[in-house]
Each structure stands twice: as C-alpha cells, then as structure tokens.
Chain A
Amino acid sequence: MTDEEVVVLVCKGDKNKFALIIERYEDKLFRYIKRLANQSSEDVEDILSEVFLSAYSNLQGFDSHKNFGSWIYRIAHNKVIDYFKSKKCSYLLNEDSEELIWNKDQFFEDLEIEKENRQIVNDAIPTLELKYKEVILLYYFEEKSYQEISDILHISVNQVGVLIYRAKKYLKQKLKNFYE
C-alpha cells in the first residue's frame, strides 16, 4: 500500500493506519532532523513528535496526487525552522549532541575529497548555513531528487542546483583554508 493510499484511509476515519506512516518515516525523519538541527536525541524526538502530530492534523490538506514523502519532509523542515527561530540562530553547534555520521561515499566522490580529508569536511558541514546544509543533506544523504528538494524547500529546481553548487564550493574552500 502506498503512502498516498494510507493517507486516504486515515482521512476516511481509519486512525490506526496512521501508525503505518509513523513506522515508515520515523527513522528517516529522525536522521534528517538530527543532522539538520544537530541536537540531542531527546530534543530531536520532541521535534519529531511535533512533525507527526502536525502531519496528522493537516492530513486533509494533503493533495493525494502529490508525493507524501516530500509533504512530510516539508513539515519537518518547517518544524526545524521554528526550532531555530525559538533559539534565534541559523545553525546550532551543540557539543552535547552525539557524533553525527556524515559519511557518504558519493558525497565525497562528488566533492573530489580524499579519504584523509573527510574528517575536515565532516567537521565543516555542521557550520554550513541552514539553507546549504539542508540541500546537501537532502540530495546526498536522503537521496532526494532535485524535484523533490524543490517541493520540500519550496524553491525552484534551478535554485536547488545553485544552493548545492554553493555549498560544495564552501566546503572545498574550508578544506583549502585548512591547509593554508
């Protein structure tokens, strides 16, 4: 059963089916929010709960002809933005949060970064501005297409490309600065 079919059933009154949505997206969204917000697991779980509750209360507003994944990621994006607004900053470096794994071969190959330099780039990713970090995260780590990222962030496909290009440029510059 597809997500969109599950949504139709929940909207018709079968509340139990919403558990399927939680099961399918809990781990993915947890990873996504954790990387994006860079916070402790407890804080991430709080944001995640808000995401699912908001998704449930707004389920009737979902257009079943569209991609449910993009829709729920959009809610997660909005909740993280709200979280940042409440903390009055554009990114957070929380030393208490557990080590994040940003290791993805395709990402490093695309950036043409040698294995010994990966840690430097890993350390630089959390310092990226939210808009850059988010596109990198969605494209390389969540494996979303440009079209899906456009639907999640509500920006044009061209803008997605521009943001990815700029984020990669920034990371390469960081690496260059490290050796200078």
Chain B
Amino acid sequence: MNKKLKDGLMTKIKKNDVRMRPKWWFQIIKDGQVLLLVLVFVISSLFISSLIYFIGLINPSSLIKMGSIGREVLFEYLPYHLIVAALVTVFFSIFIYPKIGDNYKKERRQIYFFVLLLILIFSAILTGLELMFEKGYFLF
C-alpha cells in the first residue's frame, strides 16, 4: 500500500480542500433527470398526436383513391416538419431512457418496447383530448 497516497488524500480531505457535495444536490440531479425524461415523452407525444391530427385533416384515404394526382397532393401537404420532430424526439427518448436511474439494467428490446408504449399511450390520451375539444365536451 502506498502510504504517501493515502496520507496526501487524507490531508486534502481534513483540510477541506475537497468538499462533500450535499445530499440535496444529488436529489436535484435525480429529479431533474426524471423530469427531463417525462418532458421528452410529453413533447414527442405532442408531436405524434399533432401529426395524427394534421394527417386526419388531409384525409389521405380519399386522396389516394384519386390516383397519381391525389398521391402527389398528399405528399405535397404532408406535415414533414412534424414527422421529423416526432422521429427526433422519439429517438431522443430511446437514447436518454437507459441513462436515467437503474434503467441501464433493462434489455434493449425492453427499452424500445417501454418507451414506444409510453409515447403511444400519451399520444392516444392527447389525441382523445383533441377530439373531445373538437366535439365540445369541455364547453360548459
């Protein structure tokens, strides 16, 4: 054992050259990470439900029935910015999920399944709320 190393380290610690970070600091980081994850889930769900809404407005099935002109119109009016935003946020969710807490213990397949399921549930809830707004359920 290197006595010099141990003594050097203990001197620094006793002299308060190195300070212990307080417990609340770690709690803030932990809570912040969970909050970030929830935020990313909600944002990606928002993009997906908006995508569903706008695609519904375009009514793709009737456009496809119109043949090549209908398909051209469909491709022209597709909300590409929403498609890109939804894809980016979903991939970001999959990327950060294993980095939070003990999630690294989960298998890749479990992570994909859980993240996508959660985003789909959030999106379904948001789409449902949008429909309820449209039908005036929230008007008193």
Residues of A within 8 A of B (CB): 11, 15-16, 18-19, 22-23, 26-27, 30, 45, 48-49, 52-53, 56-61, 150, 154-158
The answer to whether B22 and A60 touch across the interface, beta carbons within 8 angstroms, is: yes
Chain A nearest Cβ from B94, distance in angstroms:
15
Residue contact B5 to A56, C-beta cutoff 8 Å: no
Tell yes or no: B81 within 8 A of A by CB: no
- Contact status of A150 and B105, CB under 8 A, knowing A49-B8, A57-B18: yes
B14 at the interface (CB under 8 A from A): yes
Q: List 26 A-B contacts (CB under 8 A).
A: A11-B20, A15-B13, A15-B14, A22-B5, A22-B10, A23-B6, A26-B2, A27-B1, A48-B5, A49-B5, A49-B9, A52-B9, A56-B9, A56-B20, A57-B19, A57-B21, A58-B26, A60-B20, A60-B23, A60-B25, A61-B29, A154-B98, A154-B99, A156-B106, A156-B107, A156-B108
- How far is A41 from B98 in the complex, measured between Cα atoms in Å? 35
A154 to B106, CA, bound (A): 10
- Taking a contact as CB atoms under 8 Å apart, the answer to whether A56 and B13 are in contact is yes
10 further A-B contacts with Cβ under 8 Å, apart from A26-B1, A26-B5, are: A22-B9, A49-B5, A52-B9, A53-B9, A53-B12, A58-B21, A61-B26, A61-B29, A150-B105, A156-B106
Interface size class of B (residues with CB under 8 A): 20 to 34
B18 touches A45 (CB 8 A): no
List 9 tightest A-B contacts by C-beta distance, closest first.
A61-B26, A154-B104, A60-B23, A22-B6, A53-B18, A156-B107, A52-B9, A19-B10, A15-B13
**Judging by beta carbons under 8 Å apart, are A26 and B105 in contact?**
no
Tell me the nearest residue of chain A to B14, going by C-beta. Answer: A15
Q: B17-42 CB contact bits vs A (8 Å, 1 = yes)?
A: 01111110110010000000000000
Chain B residue contacts of A53, Cβ below 8 A: 9, 12, 18
* A50 nearest CB across to chain B (Å): 10
Residues of A near B12 (CB, < 8 A) are 53
A56–B21 Cα distance when bound, in Å, is 9
Residues in B whose Cβ lies below 8 Å from that of A23: 1, 6
- Report the bound CA distance from A56 to B13 in whole Å: 8
Q: For residue B98, which residues in chain A have a CB less than 8 angstroms away from its CB?
A: 154
In contact, A60 and B21 (Cβ under 8 angstroms)? yes
B104 with A57: CB separation less than 8 A: no
Q: Which residue of A lies closest to B104 (CB)?
A: A154
- Minimal beta-carbon separation of B126 from chain A (angstroms): 31
What residues on A are CB-neighbors of B21 within 8 Å?
A: 57-58, 60-61
Q: How far is the CA of A49 from the CA of B13 in the complex (A)?
A: 12
Q: Chain A residues with Cβ under 8 A from B22's Cβ?
A: 60
Residues of A within 8 A of B19 (CB): 57
Q: Tell me whether B104 and A155 are in contact (CB under 8 A).
A: yes
Residues of A within 8 A of B1 (CB): 23, 26-27
For A26, list chain B residues within 8 Å (CB): 1-2, 5-6
Residues of B within 8 A of A56 (CB): 9, 13, 18, 20
CA of A135 to CA of B63, assembled, Å: 56
